[in-house]
Structure 1
Amino acid sequence: MTRAGLTIGVLGSYGGRNLGDEAILTGLLTDLRQQEPHARIIVFSRNPAHTAVAHPDVEAVPWEGVSRTDSALVLSQLDLLILGGGGILYDKEARRYLRVVRVAQERGLPLLTYAVGVGPLNEMVDTGMVRETLAGAVQVTVRDQESRMVLEEAGLLNPITVTGDPAFLLEPEDFPAQFLREEGVPAGKRLVGMSVREPGRAAERLDVDGYHRLLAQIGDFLVHRIDAHVLFVPMERDDIRHSHGVLSHMIAAERGRILHGTYSPQQILGLMRHFDLAVGMRLHFLIFAAMMGTPFLPLPYAGKVFDLAQRLGVPALRGVEREVEGPLLAEVDQLWDEREQRAEVTAQRVARVCDEARGTSQVTRAVLESLRNRSLVEVGA
């Protein structure tokens, strides 16, 4: 091994399907480049072409539908495999990622989980694979307390370090006001950002028509309460359809727009500067709002969103699943009235979570240093 650097593999839900996942990858790669500038990085992607364009300084290879033999050929080139971050270890999905990890471990490749999200884990196959595979990891880091609890309940005995979502490592890019004009958003008006999502496996209990109507009531309330326009921000393609579903139930639908352009995670982070208020379901939409100091109200559909609200000291009602209109509208009203008083405390908590996200770097740094030292010994021998 020369100073050309280590070869590091990164496995996660990457490839352009979800802006939150792409934010995670961007934060993770930025961290790796700062620590190991000469590293050769291979990203296992669901869409290698997308990843190669978004990150031209890495190599992108497929992993879905790839045989064990072909996976082993790529994995044999690595010094380390990083799993995560993001919420990828849950029922039916965990087993897919861990098949690749098991091939790596059979070859003696060290595994590090990078601020990974875990749960729900109720199926025996996934629970067993998570427990057995992560037991062989050199370090296990998770992005929230809920993930640690799920791993402990699954029977993992390894030390588990709680850090923070890699998206907290991003820097915003400018989102010019002209982009908003091109999206049909008028100038000189208060603007509310809203994020909705499809039910999917991560939010199976959501009643589609029910939560569409509930979010429409929130949108109408804000239109009349603060004379605002509402901009729906899709974090993945299916969100566009559900944004239309919410908009179709709004009485003041003429005050709503859906963001249709293609933007990077850093640009969406910059977009948050234009919002007077943000109300949303998607985790990374809320993370972006928090990072930019935009007053926001989470609408939890899963524990990871509720965990973020708790860490940031922001009220969050589980009314999306239960269709509780009154308490949600009251909370939105209170958020608007108290936005300035809450701002400083929220900013302090966001700063702490950003520090926690940088904590993953400390764990990764120790692993990389150990690998470099081992390589030098092998070369010297």
Structure 2
Amino acid sequence: MSRVLYLAEIGYKNAGDQVMWDIFQRHFRNNLASDRFRVAGRQAAGTALSAFDSVVLGGGSLVAPAYLAKLEEARQGNIPYYIWGSGVDKWVTRAGLDAMLNGSPLPAAFTAQAKDFKVADIFRNAHFAAVRGPLSQAFLQAAGVEAENIAVSGDPALLLTPQDAKFASDKLPLPGGGPYIGINWGTAMNQIFGKDEAFVEDELAAAAKRWIQQGYSILLFVMWPKDIPASRRLMNKIGDANRVRLLETVDPYEVMGIIGQCKFTVDLKLHAAVLSAVMRIPFIALGYRFKVFDFAASIDAIRYVISTDSPTLAQELLYAANHIQENYTQTVNSLDKQLTAYQKARMLAEPFFRRLKKEAGTN
């Protein structure tokens, strides 16, 4: 029996982390015989690698100290390891992101910590290494990872299709009639660009009130139980109870169903934007950290990201929404083109699991 470890931030009822773990397990079952291979999901903390024959760094922003330390442990212990669509996040400050978006070289200070964690060696010795987006790839190359040792796979959740959505009848009826704008709100514990979630919340409320005046109803949705208090607060700030509804499910497939009923969405959490893209629903992403820009860059959607430190956030939200409304078919077609390309390549699906089966089966 070959034992495979899937390392990721699972167990927190986070819809994004959960859906990527679901996807991994689904493809694992479909490609690797259950009498020969077994997979277990664990977080980095407290996990002993000695019980496993192979290690997969799963989806999420896991190119980070705790998880890289586990990959280095695997490297030192000659345990085969794989990087399955993970990405960079907190290592890249707003100044570093601006430099990358402007095409400027990253000063050495911005990549020093990544170099300290031996990312070049870790990626060189991985049996497979693909990251979420081109900005993660560019940052890691600036930190010394050679181009031939890192590919861009897209986020693992891009393997989903609209058919995976679940429309829960108990969440109906919806408020006030359509059309609907979905707003994903919550908290990142104020670890956002600008460090002012209260300001962002007020700007969202102002934009939502304007959309209601234009004839829309608002569907608030969350990706994590800890997002619910902030979303309730936003609902109260918007007011107009007949036109606003908060749906508190964190089931990722029900969230997809909610998104599917919207004209477009405004999303704080990364995987709210990912699921919107999967559903071919235009989105405006609140760029609260590097990872949001990284994903958007992977599907040519940077223009739909607004940084949370923008002093004119509400105005920019309204402008972006108008652009989507005026170019709706073109925007949907662009999303579909980008998603179709990833889903045809399926780098994280059959090609990856065939390789894992071949290599893990010989351990």
* Structure 1 residue 332, shift from structure 2 partner: 0.9
Is 1:107 aligned to 2:81, yes or no? no
- Equivalent of 1:279, from 252, 266, 269? 266
Once the two structures are TM-superposed, the CA of residue 296 in structure 1 deviates from its matched residue by: 2.1
Please name the residue that 2:125 is paired with.
Answer: 136
Gaps of 5+ in 2: 92-109
> 1:43 aligned to 2:13?
no
1:359–1:43 distance in 2 versus 1, CA, 3 Å: closer
Contact 1:12-1:85 within 8 A present in 2 as well: yes
Q: How far 1:213 moved relative to its partner?
A: 0.9
Letter in 2 for 1:290: A
* 1:253 Cα deviation after fit: 5.5
Aligned residue type for 1:162: V
In structure 2, the residue corresponding to 1:274 is in which secondary structure? coil
What residue identity is the alignment partner of 1:64?
A
- Of 306, 309, 322, 1:321 maps to 309
> C-alpha deviations, 1:110-139, integer Å up to 9, x for none?
011101112342585554225144443222
CA drift of 1:156 comes to 2.3
- Corresponding residue number in structure 1 for 2:170: 178
168, 171, 186: which one pairs with 2:158? 168
Structure 2 residue identity aligned to 1:81:
V
Which of 45, 54, 76 in structure 2 is aligned with 1:64?
Answer: 45
2:65 aligned residue: 95
Q: Deviations over 1:350-371 (max 9, x none)?
A: 2113334445642442343234
Partner residue, 1:309: 296
Query: Taking structure 1 as reference, are residues 239 and 34 closer, same or farther at Cα in structure 2, changes over 3 Å only?
Result: same
The aligned amino acid for 2:220 is F
Give me the TM-score of the superposition, normalised by structure 1.
0.79
1:236 counterpart residue number? 224
Query: Structure 1 residue 190 and structure 2 residue 179: aligned?
Result: yes
The two structures, once aligned, show a CA RMSD in angstroms of: 2.7
- 1:156 corresponding residue in structure 2: 145
**Structure 2 length normalisation: TM-score?**
0.83
Deviation per residue, 1:229-282 (Å, 9 max, x gap): 21211111222122133234325455322222352x223223322222211121
Q: Aligned in 2, Cα 1:212/1:254: closer, same or farther, shift over 3 Å?
A: farther
Contact 1:317 1:328 in 2 (8 A): no
In 2 relative to 1, CA 209–254 (structure 1 residues): closer, same or farther, beyond 3 Å?
farther
User: Could you say which structure has the greater relative contact order, defined with CA pairs below 8 angstroms and 6 or more residues apart?
Assistant: 2
2:298 matched to 1:298? Answer: no
- Whether the 8 Å contact between 1:128 and 1:154 is mirrored in structure 2 is no
Q: Does 1:259 align with 2:233?
A: no
C-alpha separation in 2, matches of 1:148 and 1:331: 27
Instruction: Report the counterpart of residue 333 of structure 1 in structure 2.
Output: 322
Fraction of identical pairs, as percent: 21
Given that 1:306 and 1:316 are in contact with CA atoms closer than 8 Å, whether structure 2 keeps it comes out as no
The answer on whether the counterparts of 1:113 and 1:142 sit within 8 Å (CA) in structure 2 is yes
Equivalent residues, number = 338
Larger radius of gyration: 1
